Amino acid sequence: MTPAPPSRPLFSAERSAEVVTEAFRDTPDPRLRTVLTSLVAHLHAFAKEVALTQAELDTAIDFLTRTGHACTDVRQEFQLLSDVLGMSMLVDSLDHTGPGQASATESTVLGPFHMVDSPPRDLGESISLAEGGEPTLVTGQVLGADGTPLAGALVDVWQADEKGYYDVQRPGEVPDRNLRGLFTCDEEGRFRFRTILPAAYPIPDDGPVGQLLKATARHPYRPAHIHFIVGAQGHRPLTTHVFVAGSDYLDSDAVFGVKESLVLDFDEVREPERAAPYDLPVPFRHAHVEISLRVAEAHR
Ligand code: BEZ
Ligand code: FE
């Protein structure tokens, strides 16, 4: 009896990507088919380029397995892997192109520490609920792309403390929701809050991603920053940071999140008359943040 001809060519190293891609031929979702086809092509080309050995593939599978096992409700090691490989920032950039983007404030990574809701706070209130740190005032304004102030815009902020820890990393040691706040802008789109100057800090490096950084002689540090998510009706929400000018690691952020436009001066203010309206001691640091949002329709 003559065997039936194979419905697709048999696997060979030469035609590997073509054969595997063919197996995905009937994928009903066209976008999934496109993504998988390209992924297979690039993965196979990569393995051929570096002449990947069986031992190396085993090591990679073990690494990914340990990365999965390191994930918990409050830790996402795969997200961290994407961050240190620059994938998070690349996809963020790819997702922020098109009409209206040029005049909008630049975005950057969300990071893993927005894991709890920020408490609503009044304009001018302090988000610092613990002792210590350099008193700091952050003022700002949220604008539309045409420069119109966005009354009632929501500004969600969170940051590390003066030692580089988020509240969720020091449970029981600092008050719950320390250094987090949700502010509603006034009629002119303005916001203000008191805080402390954040410090640079290492990303969680006690898991597989930390081992990867060590094996590649990379440090785990991020420069000092304050996180923002800003939203206003009819506008695309913006996830970004403000980086402290002069901080260490601005040119070697472990997750590649720094953009020049996001680096701001936190000036030292010594005049008591500028401190009094905010009930701040002197000296204090002051940064002013202008945030421009894109209209929602303009993004793809
Ligand atoms: C953060 O800034 O909170 C962060 C971002 C990416 C990875 C780890 C931490
Ligand atoms: Fe952070």
Spacing, Cα 110 to ligand 1 middle (Å): 7
The whole-number pLDDT of residue 102 equals 86
Q: What is the mean pLDDT of residues 207-225?
A: 98
Domain, as residue range, for 20: 1-52
Q: Is the pLDDT of residue 8 over 80?
A: no
Please report which confidence band the pLDDT of residue 126 belongs to, taking 50, 70 and 90 as the band edges.
Answer: very high
Does ligand 1 lie within 6 Å of residue 207's CB atom? no
Q: What is the mean pLDDT of the chain?
A: 95
251/132 same-domain check: yes
Question: Nearest to residue 289, comparing CAs of 219, 213, 238?
Answer: 238
How far is CA 188 from each of CA 174, 185, 192, rounded to the nearest angstrom? 34, 7, 12
> Which ligand is closest in space to the CA of residue 258?
1
Q: Are the beta carbons of 183 and 123 closer than 8 angstroms?
A: yes
Does the residue 86 lie in any domain?
yes
142/184 same-domain check: yes
Does the residue 65 lie in any domain?
no
117/212 same-domain check: yes
Please report which confidence band the pLDDT of residue 71 belongs to, taking 50, 70 and 90 as the band edges.
Answer: very high
Pocket test for ligand 1, best of 222, 225, 242 (most atoms within 8 A of CB): 222
Q: Name the helix (H) or strand (E) containing 263.
A: strand 263-264
162/89 same-domain check: yes
Distance CA 93, CA 107 (A): 8
Q: Are the beta carbons of 24 and 33 closer than 8 angstroms?
A: yes
Q: Are the beta carbons of 284 and 136 closer than 8 angstroms?
A: yes
24/157 same-domain check: no
Does the residue 284 lie in any domain?
yes
Does the residue 89 lie in any domain?
yes
Q: How far is CA 49 from the centre of its chain?
A: 31
Does the residue 67 lie in any domain?
no
Does the residue 58 lie in any domain?
no
Ligand 2 (single-atom ion) residues, CB below 5 Å: 111
136/30 same-domain check: no
Spacing, Cα 109 to ligand 1 middle (Å): 7
Quote the number of domains for the chain: 2
The whole-number pLDDT of residue 9 equals 85
Ligand 1 atom, smallest distance to 114 CA = 3
Domain-ending residue, one of 35, 52, 69: 52
Answer positive or negative: Cα dihedral of 30, 36, 42, 45.
negative
Please report which confidence band the pLDDT of residue 11 belongs to, taking 50, 70 and 90 as the band edges.
Answer: very high
User: When comparing pLDDT for 257 and 102, which is higher?
Assistant: 257
Which positions ≥6 away from 106 have C-beta within 8 Å?
96, 240, 259, 261, 262
Q: What is the mean pLDDT of residues 224-245?
A: 97
Does the residue 233 lie in any domain?
yes
Does ligand 1 lie within 6 Å of residue 83's CB atom? yes
33/103 same-domain check: no
267/231 same-domain check: yes
Please report which confidence band the pLDDT of residue 168 belongs to, taking 50, 70 and 90 as the band edges.
Answer: very high
Q: Are the beta carbons of 92 and 108 closer than 8 angstroms?
A: yes
135/20 same-domain check: no
What CATH code is carried by the domain that includes residue 121? 2.60.130.10
Would you tell me the crossing angle of helices 54-69 and 208-215 to the nearest 10 degrees? 140
Q: What is the mean pLDDT of residues 182-199?
A: 98
Look at ligand 1, atom 6, and give the residue with the nearest C-alpha.
Answer: 111
43/87 same-domain check: no
121/265 same-domain check: yes
Does the residue 59 lie in any domain?
no
28/158 same-domain check: no
Pocket test for ligand 1, best of 84, 113, 116, 169 (most atoms within 8 A of CB): 113
The whole-number pLDDT of residue 299 equals 45
Look at ligand 1, atom 3, and give the residue with the nearest C-alpha.
Answer: 111
